[in-house]
Amino acid sequence: MKIRIPPLKIQGIKSKLVCSIKNAMEWDNQGIYFEPFMGSGVVGFNIAPKRAIFSDNNPHIINFYRAIQKGFINKESVREYLKQEGATLEKEGLEHYLKVRERFNQTACSFDFLFLNRSCFNGLMRFNLKGGFNVPYCKKDTRFTQSYITKIVNQINWVSNLIKNNDYEFRICDFTYILKQAQYGDFIYCDPPYIDRHCDYFNTWNETKEKELYEILSSTKARFILSTWHSNQYRENKYITTLWSGFYNDIIEHFYHLGASENNRNAMKEALIKNYIVDMNLMQSNPTKQKSLFG
């Protein structure tokens, strides 16, 4: 399976896990696909469900994809915008980056959001307490080369066609609201901020929110996969063996190369937590638990 990358570059993007997540899904694509922590949307866009509700509490992410859905952001408009802003960036460097950042924090323009996302330091998406984007410059004045612009344009065009050919909604809301709408026959993919990993999020993520997510997923009639960190060479995620211990999980090892801290560039074991079994041998050996989850 060829994995395609969406236009927004976000720390912790799950491009390396898409195949594992798709292989772990057991769903007939007849219900609604829910992704309440949309982020880049790389998992949902590569799965390409017929019906989907993508949501996030970061309004800039959702408004960006709404702008694509409405046709305001398209391959022609993005190419022209990035050519113009990229040329100015090449001349003025940091001064222009700061100018666009200030403009974005005043207007929340989705075009400026894309520009900042692709020219900020390390692809971080961080906001201050007032909601202002505050990531520093990547210090690469020639960021928007012709080939780089074409790459982004192609990503926009791919997502635009997906949205046109399927029934997708993009909502600004908290996970606690949207997940309660999922029904039997739907599928949920959750990629919450990694607890105890010092990850940036539009709002804070803590043990209270982790437990709220657990309570909702424990009672949902839909099938779900939740991805979270399992362990690295320094420590383990205690919530795997406590809070989430009643569910099935697959462990996958890979490397993250995105993030400001070198401590986050080590080998990482990921856990895909599920409320169902894919392996038929395991299912036959534990029919009671399977029945309790979906009976």
Q: Please report whether residue 293 resides in a domain.
A: no
Q: Please report whether residue 283 resides in a domain.
A: no
Q: Are residues 141 and 179 in the same domain?
A: no
In degrees and rounded to multiples of 5, residue 203 shows phi and psi of -125, 170
Q: Please report whether residue 119 resides in a domain.
A: yes
Q: Are residues 270 and 192 in the same domain?
A: yes
> Where is the domain boundary, 87, 120, 154?
154
Instruction: Write the pLDDT tens digit of every residue in 223-259.
Output: 999 999 888 777 888 989 999 999 999 998 876 654 4
- To which residue do tokens 């800039």 refer? 60
User: Per this entry, what is the length of the chain?
Assistant: 295
Q: Please report whether residue 286 resides in a domain.
A: no
pLDDT at 156 over 80: yes
Q: Please report whether residue 62 resides in a domain.
A: no
- Domain containing 115 — which CATH number? 1.10.1020.10
pTM value? 0.87
pLDDT-based confidence at 11, cuts 50/70/90? Answer: confident
How many Cβ atoms are within 10 Å of 33's Cβ, its own excluded?
A: 25
Q: How does 237-265 read in b/e, with b if 16+ C-beta sit within 10 Å?
A: bebbeebbeebbbbebeeebeebbeeebe
How many Cβ atoms are within 10 Å of 17's Cβ, its own excluded?
A: 20
Q: Please report whether residue 285 resides in a domain.
A: no
Residue 31 structural domain: 17-57+173-274
Instruction: Write the pLDDT tens digit of every residue in 190-212.
Output: 999 886 655 554 557 789 999 99
Q: Please report whether residue 25 resides in a domain.
A: yes
**CA atoms within 13 Å, Cβ hemisphere of 159:** 28
Q: Are residues 268 and 128 in the same domain?
A: no
Q: Are residues 215 and 245 in the same domain?
A: yes
In degrees and rounded to multiples of 5, residue 66 shows phi and psi of -65, -35
Averaged confidence pLDDT in the chain: 89
Residue 237, H or E segment = none
Q: Are residues 87 and 141 in the same domain?
A: yes
Say how many domains are in the chain: 2
Q: Are residues 85 and 145 in the same domain?
A: yes
